[in-house]
Amino acid sequence: MTEMSKLNQLVQQNILEHESRLKHVDELLERAQAVVAKAEGDEAAQLAEVKRERDQLSSRVEEYRLRPPESGEEFEKFGPMAVWDTLAKRLENLIERLER
């Protein structure tokens, strides 16, 4: 396998991992929206902030998907998967707090 195809494979794998986390965050957002609709307080503002962050990350993933494989080094700077995990955790906490 050539160096370029290894790089392309790594970039594609990273994109798939980000997309997997995006899907999880989207599922949590749907659940949170249903719960927040019934709640009173600043939960709607918190949810809007998380959604804004999700949209920004999603846009960045899309940008990298459209770039040529040579830009793999830039993708490495995109950030750790922990960003997605942090968003998911914030949503989970919000949902848990409201479902009580």
Over residues 55-77, the pLDDT tens digits come to 988 888 888 778 766 655 565 56
Query: Whose CA is closest to 27, among 90, 88, 80, 74?
Result: 88
Q: Which of 2-6, 52-56, 68-72 has the highest mean pLDDT?
A: 52-56
Q: What pTM value is reported for the model?
A: 0.76
Tokens at 17, concatenated: 């991992």
